Structure 1
């Protein structure tokens, strides 16, 4: 309450003061040149990914009819995960100054190489960035197989309720289906009746990529091995993507639909960073700097690490909690949170900021 009184007494008023917390930080970041494009970094990354895809393709052809092809399926999944990260960066317009160049790079990477719709994903992802973990606004916490609120679990009955009470333990195994789910959701979006001209072009690219991929597998391998190759590749791809996105918001406070928050608090309080060094940076495609990414969505990936100390210090100076944990700790938090939603009906709105607003 004393903080609220202090805010009200501030000469600029609480809304202006809260807004200035972000604008002041953004000005500092721009002055340091951290929003500058990093063309060399991204051209190198894209070149290496294309080379890796070519190497995997060559390996598949040379191995022929062999169960060692399952190793190549795993390798392909890892490379396609890096393709998805690059498409994510381009969709956020981190690579080029031109919006069109970014959009088409994201489209060719996602649709042509990974077989997913960047249009579908960007529409969904933009809503998430606008209101992370906010009920009714963030599509990433919509009710589905996994329930994120006690109310959602409470409405379940029978076998579905049994699953909900233990959903944390099923979360990561379910990620093996995420790769297939992404392809299905992409096609459902692109093939709908009211698709735009660009979406029809994207649909043609995605369908060509997916059908061509399956055709090549069936030409090179017997049906059994081709099916196993496809299943392994989709499962590992789904796990890699899901394990990169899940730690960043799952288990952080959920926000009531009607609550209004200033931009800095909205992004920082609902996000979690993952520490771990170069391997984590590579394996998570820079998403381990989730707080910085949410504050500066168009910041090139290599600059996120550089801006982190500035953001952490800024948050500490203004009393905004900044969350960072290790990778495996984050997974334990996700599992515990999902199990607690069903087993102990913990209030998902428990958060110092929310309690302050309630007061």
Structure 2
């Protein structure tokens, strides 16, 4: 495929570059010219981005992007260097996709990133990234992940054994529910590791096992998860770019600024000034049917028939395991109660690091500032590490999304030093304080909505 031609208003061509479709003009560009190519500014309807000072036109490619169309489009008109580095394990393999898209590079007088960004933070983080790579902190420990998977299997089998051996009286029933829900929670964190390519050093192995285990052990679609979660990591807490915020205006008003906007627009989908009260029910209660419906809708719409078939095997498996020993009605109560407990755990753990943090539109800050203003940590302990799947190190996980979770604590002191040097807030709190901050944040933003709604 030949690289797309430059616009007529592009600067004078300086060089020639050979792509997969032959030779094509190559020019020098300014950040201002790149910034116009967001796909939303007429007449510049292209999507350009910059990686390591090279300018790429992804206008025709983004729909075929293996990581999802939206995640690459979120960086249109911006420097995507640190995001590109963070998400891809094999840079040489990915370069074959980039080469045909190359249309030029930044002019020599242009800084390495957009002029409005803090160049010192960017340079220091890239040095930190180099230190992390040299220290092999991105290298996974296979034994660690094998033990993680083994304990999930033990929990899953233990749930079935409890019902099979002790029956369905009150105590074994709830013990079985607890074991099954815990196995599913821990499987959430393990599939998260696989999705982030942090279990194996080879991307293909991560993808294959992620698809297999996500489908047959959780009944969920791996590509559905990747499509949503990569966008979240690319632009966390950025309204209209982070899909974790997409359903919130209908249930919650998040962030004081956005909540006040809803109020001034007289939008009242819910009584947001009471959202800190109904979050306990509607948060998990809304996610459970949403996840169940959206995974099947996504797979059918995208024609992911293999994933769909594997997902169905999950439901066949659990039915064959439990219905013969407990009956259909008892099984339905068992299964959906466990699912509800699982989604409650997932909601609280996944939101404790983000809802209390800054929520805004994308203002295109540097990678470090983007991640730090949207994430916080929870204190380290054996229980916190296990219960949250090491997502208590959310800051480090967002800065280095492919880093194996067992190494996150090792890089934390280096990240703290970087933040202290540049005056960036590094928040770390106790587990129950983090849970409480979700409620406090919802109350504050709900009040901001109410004040604007009443007085605007």
Give the TM-score, by structure 1 length.
Answer: 0.85
Tell me whether 244-253 or 331-340 shows the greater mean CA deviation. 331-340
Q: Return the index of the structure with the highest Cα Rg.
A: 2
Equivalent-residue separation in structure 1 for 2:382 and 2:152 (angstroms): 18
| CA deviations over 1:34-91 (Å, ceiling 9, x no partner) | 1112111111211222222222222222233433322201210011111110100011
Asked if 2 retains the 8 angstrom alpha-carbon contact of 1:65 and 1:222, the reply is no
Q: Does the C-alpha gap of structure 1 residues 282 and 222 become closer, same or farther in structure 2, counting only changes over 3 Å?
A: same
More strand by share: 2
Q: Does the C-alpha gap of structure 1 residues 62 and 306 become closer, same or farther in structure 2, counting only changes over 3 Å?
A: same
Residue 147 of structure 1: aligned partner: 253
Tell me whether 42-51 or 210-219 shows the greater mean CA deviation. 210-219
RMSD: 2.2
Tell me whether 127-136 or 323-332 shows the greater mean CA deviation. 323-332
Query: Given the alignment of the two structures, is residue 320 of structure 1 paired with residue 424 of structure 2, yes or no?
Result: yes
- Aligned match for 1:221, one of 320, 326, 332: 326
Unaligned runs of 5+ in 1: 1-10, 348-359
Question: Relative contact order (alpha carbons < 8 A, sep ≥ 6): 1 or 2 greater?
Answer: 1
- Aligned match for 1:205, one of 294, 302, 310: 310
Q: How does 1:166-315 map to 2 (within 5 A)?
A: 166-177=274-285, 178-192=287-301, 194-195=302-303, 199-257=304-362, 259-315=363-419
Equivalent-residue separation in structure 2 for 1:183 and 1:248 (angstroms): 24
Equivalent-residue separation in structure 2 for 1:215 and 1:33 (angstroms): 44
Asked if 1 retains the 8 angstrom alpha-carbon contact of 2:162 and 2:176, the reply is yes
Residue 329 of structure 1: aligned partner: 433
Residue 353 of structure 1: aligned partner: none
Asked if 2 retains the 8 angstrom alpha-carbon contact of 1:268 and 1:291, the reply is yes
Query: Given the alignment of the two structures, is residue 130 of structure 1 paired with residue 240 of structure 2, yes or no?
Result: no
Equivalent-residue separation in structure 1 for 2:266 and 2:221 (angstroms): 33
Equivalent-residue separation in structure 2 for 1:232 and 1:119 (angstroms): 26
Q: Does the C-alpha gap of structure 1 residues 333 and 78 become closer, same or farther in structure 2, counting only changes over 3 Å?
A: same
- Aligned match for 2:120, one of 9, 13, 17: 17
Asked if 2 retains the 8 angstrom alpha-carbon contact of 1:110 and 1:117, the reply is yes
Q: How many angstroms does 1:132 deviate by?
A: 0.5
Equivalent-residue separation in structure 1 for 2:380 and 2:135 (angstroms): 25
Residue 357 of structure 1: aligned partner: none
More helix by share: 1
Q: Does the C-alpha gap of structure 1 residues 248 and 265 become closer, same or farther in structure 2, counting only changes over 3 Å?
A: same
Query: Given the alignment of the two structures, is residue 51 of structure 1 paired with residue 161 of structure 2, yes or no?
Result: no
Asked if 1 retains the 8 angstrom alpha-carbon contact of 2:168 and 2:326, the reply is yes
Q: Secondary structure at the match of 1:314?
A: helix
Residue 103 of structure 2: aligned partner: none
Tell me whether 277-286 or 220-229 shows the greater mean CA deviation. 220-229
Equivalent-residue separation in structure 1 for 2:330 and 2:232 (angstroms): 38
- Aligned match for 2:141, one of 3, 16, 38: 38
Equivalent-residue separation in structure 2 for 1:312 and 1:214 (angstroms): 48
